[in-house]
Amino acid sequence: MLKPRNPIKPTFPYFIPAIVWFLLVLYLLTMPATNIPQLDDWFSKYKLDKLAHTFLFAILTIAFIWPVGWSYFSNSRKYHIFVKIGIATSIWGLATEFIQKYLVIGRSFEMADWAFDTTGVILAVVFSKYFFLKDIFNK
Count Cβ atoms below 10 Å from residue 1 Cβ, excluding itself.
5
Q: 93 lies in a domain?
A: yes
Q: 126 lies in a domain?
A: yes
Looking at the structure of the chain, the number of domains it has is 1
| Residue-number span of the structural domain to which 121 is assigned | 52-133
Task: Please give the pLDDT value at position 99.
Answer: 95
Task: Please give the pLDDT value at position 6.
Answer: 79
Q: 46 lies in a domain?
A: no
pLDDT digits (tens, 9 = 90+) for 12-49: 999 999 999 999 999 988 888 776 666 555 555 557 88
Q: 34 lies in a domain?
A: no
Q: 6 lies in a domain?
A: no
**Cα–Cα distance between 128 and 111 in angstroms, integer?**
26
Task: Please give the pLDDT value at position 139.
Answer: 45
Q: 19 lies in a domain?
A: no
pLDDT digits (tens, 9 = 90+) for 108-135: 899 999 999 999 999 999 999 999 987 6
Ramachandran area for residue 37 (φ above 0: left; ψ -120 to 50: alpha; else beta): beta
What one-character-per-residue DSSP string does 28-41 give? HHTS-GGGSPPPPH
Q: Is 9 within 8 Å of 68 (Cβ atoms)? A: no
Q: 102 lies in a domain?
A: yes
